[in-house]
């Protein structure tokens, strides 16, 4: 099968190449050099960059104030199966021209939902057959699949958290079909983002039952997938709000607690999204670190928010400092466990040229590559690590070491403090740490 479909959608754009930072070619990578080895691995393997089907192929720019602005030449056909094939052609043309190895999807990004569950399943199965051929021809792989359990009006009161069992069962059916699709395509992971899994008013909400029901659904999904040979990891993607006022997967710490409470910790990790972190009043790097500390740093949804507003703008990453701080956590955690960097990001409503999709992904990949290079240099050639470890040197000897091994008691602390003077004032040196990063940028 040809990598470009019957129609070439992105005419005039060839495979994006690395040309280095001095290149003026807007359609070339300046920092992302897929085969370059950093910290013992190629950039390609560190990142496992993925295209998000929903934004890149389906996001035409509609907002609450107006319709879409992007006149995508694919998926205009009245027949949903023809439209789905065109979309797949455009997707694979895009991914291969970007030189990426992965994509991610929701079930009904691939093909529109039909009016009945049975017909929807048939559509998904047929589209998956077509995708499989395209994946075999191109070598492109599925980073993760998921089910859209938040857009359809039936999920207005939640999916797994719905107060009506019939809706929970319907969500389970859709989940099964999405898992089947993911497994058929050798998906490496499966994501749960609980868009409507939360509540708007506690007055009409039985919170504990709702949360336990989500846990039940997730355990069923795990048992079903593993029973059918799935070897990948399940990820929960935290987000504090939007669309719901209170989402049950608020942030990394909340989601880790949920995973443990529901007995899912052997099979579930986290998919951390930049703009979800900032909506939770955290930094991206904070969320990565919380996940890493729990051994649950699974995957990343890459984008950025807006410092001046409070919703999910899903802009492409371009904040090098933010991503460099994140790459420090990433490298020190030994990378991602099973996942990759999925560009869950959309071009702005007025970025209406098809080439803007390429320019945006190039910028995102370059931002991560630059961040990785800087973080690696900071770790290996600056005195950053020394300064950091030195702050905690008192725990590596004497009573401090005994404390970390829990070999001393509260009375020992009392005795230690009593026989010491007022503790010395030691500067935190934040500005020095910041300057080191700046120096290496």
Task: Enumerate binding residues for Co ion (CB under 5 A).
Answer: 273, 301, 344
DSSP bridge pairs for 104 = 52, 144
Q: Using CB distances below 5 to 8 A depending on partner kind, what does residue 239 bind out of ligand XUL, Co ion, none?
A: ligand XUL
Spatial CB neighbours of 34, under 8 Å, sequence gap ≥ 6: 18, 42, 43, 44, 99
Distance CA 434, CA 388 (A): 12
Q: Which is nearer to Co ion, 188 or 301 (CB)?
A: 301
Q: Using CB distances below 5 to 8 A depending on partner kind, what does residue 87 bind out of ligand XUL, Co ion, none?
A: none
Query: Residue 208: how many CB atoms within 10 A of its CB?
Result: 8
**Nearest distance in Å: CB 344, Co ion:** 4
Please name which of 238, 48, 2, 266 lies closest in space to residue 142, comparing C-alpha atoms.
Answer: 48
Q: Using CB distances below 5 to 8 A depending on partner kind, what does residue 249 bind out of ligand XUL, Co ion, none?
A: none
φ, ψ at 86 (rounded to 5°):
-60, -40
Q: Which is nearer to ligand XUL, 95 or 331 (CB)?
A: 95
Q: Which is nearer to Co ion, 96 or 233 (CB)?
A: 233
Q: How far apart are the first and last CA of the chain?
A: 43
Residue nearest to ligand XUL (CB): 193
Q: Which is nearer to ligand XUL, 58 or 369 (CB)?
A: 58
Distance CA 72, CA 85 (A): 14
Annotated active-site residue 267? The verdict is no
Q: Which is nearer to Co ion, 273 or 376 (CB)?
A: 273
**Nearest distance in Å: CB 179, ligand XUL:** 14
Contact by Cβ (8 Å): 186, 140: no
Distance CA 345, CA 226 (A): 31
Token match 């007025």: residue? 350
CA distances from 429 to 75, 324, 388, 422, 435 (A): 55, 19, 10, 21, 10
Catalytic residue among 46, 55, 106, 282: 106
Contact by Cβ (8 Å): 237, 190: no
Contact footprint for ligand XUL (CB under 6 A)? 106, 146, 191, 193, 237, 239, 273, 301, 312, 344
**Nearest distance in Å: CB 154, ligand XUL:** 17
Annotated active-site residue 79? The verdict is no
Q: Using CB distances below 5 to 8 A depending on partner kind, what does residue 197 bind out of ligand XUL, Co ion, none?
A: none
**Nearest distance in Å: CB 158, ligand XUL:** 14
**Nearest distance in Å: CB 273, ligand XUL:** 5
Catalytic residue among 89, 101, 107, 109: 109
Q: Using CB distances below 5 to 8 A depending on partner kind, what does residue 252 bind out of Co ion, ligand XUL, none?
A: none
Residues with catalytic roles: 106, 109
């Amino acid at each position: 099968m040809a990598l470009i479909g019957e129609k070439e959608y992105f005419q005039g754009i060839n495979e994006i190449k690395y040309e280095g930072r001095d290149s003026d070619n807007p359609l070339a990578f300046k920092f992302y050099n897929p085969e370059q080895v950093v910290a013992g691995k190629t950039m390609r393997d560190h990142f496992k960059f993925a295209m998000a089907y929903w934004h890149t192929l389906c996001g035409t720019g509609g907002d609450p104030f107006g319709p879409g602005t992007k006149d995508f030449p694919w998926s205009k056909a009245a027949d949903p199966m023809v439209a789905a094939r065109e979309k797949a052609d455009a997707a694979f043309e895009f991914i291969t021209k970007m030189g990426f190895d992965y994509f991610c999807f929701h079930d009904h990004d691939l093909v529109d939902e039909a009016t009945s569950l049975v017909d929807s399943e048939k559509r998904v199965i047929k589209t998956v057959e077509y995708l499989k051929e395209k994946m075999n021809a191109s070598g492109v792989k599925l980073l993760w699949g998921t089910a859209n359990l938040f857009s359809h009006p039936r999920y207005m009161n939640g999916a797994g958290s719905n107060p009506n069992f019939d809706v929970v069962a319907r969500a389970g059916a859709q989940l099964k079909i999405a898992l089947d699709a993911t497994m058929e395509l050798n998906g490496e992971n499966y994501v749960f983002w609980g868009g409507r899994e939360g509540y708007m008013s506690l007055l009409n909400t039985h919170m504990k039952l709702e949360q336990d029901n989500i846990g039940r659904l997730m355990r069923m999904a795990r048992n079903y997938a593993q029973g059918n040979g799935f070897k990948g990891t399940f990820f929960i993607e935290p987000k504090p709000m939007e669309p719901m006022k209170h989402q049950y997967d608020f942030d990394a710490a909340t989601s880790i607690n949920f995973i443990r409470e529901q007995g899912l910790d052997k099979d579930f990790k986290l998919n951390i999204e930049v703009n979800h972190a900032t909506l939770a009043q955290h930094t991206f790097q904070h969320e990565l670190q919380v996940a890493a500390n729990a051994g649950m740093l699974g995957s990343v949804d890459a984008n950025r928010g807006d410092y001046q507003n409070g919703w999910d703008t899903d802009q492409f990453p371009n904040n090098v400092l933010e991503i460099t701080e994140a790459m420090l956590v990433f490298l020190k955690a030994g990378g991602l466990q099973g996942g990759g960097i999925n560009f869950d990001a959309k071009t702005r409503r007025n970025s209406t040229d098809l080439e803007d999709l390429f320019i945006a992904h190039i910028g995102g990949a370059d931002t991560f590559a630059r961040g990785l290079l800087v973080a690696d240099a900071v770790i290996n050639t600056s005195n950053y690590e020394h300064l950091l470890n030195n702050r905690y040197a008192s725990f590596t000897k004497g009573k401090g070491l005994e404390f970390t091994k829990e070999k001393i008691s509260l009375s020992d602390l009392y005795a230690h403090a009593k026989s010491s003077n007022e503790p010395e004032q030691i500067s935190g040196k934040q500005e020095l740490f910041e300057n080191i990063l700046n120096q290496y940028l």
